[in-house]
């Protein structure tokens, strides 16, 4: 049995971040700061949660 760390973002956070990315005035850096994750984490968020 493998032990994995808990996900950095919840499904609702991913959906919210993706909806904010639709705004052309929003940047990945700004959204990541608002949610409290790194830009890398935001980029790696699975599309399957949409």
Summarize pLDDT for 32-41 with one digit per residue, the tens: 999 999 999 9
Lowest mean pLDDT among 20-24, 29-33, 44-48: 44-48
Residues 37, 28: Cα–Cα separation, whole Å: 11
Q: How many other β-carbons are positioned within 10 Å of the β-carbon of residue 13?
A: 19
CA neighbor of 21 nearest in space, from 46, 36, 43, 41: 43
pTM for the model stands at 0.71
Q: How many helices (H) and strands (E) does the chain have?
A: 3, 0
DSSP-derived 3-state class of residue 42: helix
């Amino acid at each position: 049995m493998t032990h994995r760390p808990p996900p950095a973002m919840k499904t609702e956070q991913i959906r919210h971040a993706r909806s904010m990315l639709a705004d052309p005035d929003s940047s990945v850096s700004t959204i990541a700061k608002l949610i409290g994750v790194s830009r890398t984490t935001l980029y790696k968020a699975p599309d399957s949660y949409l």
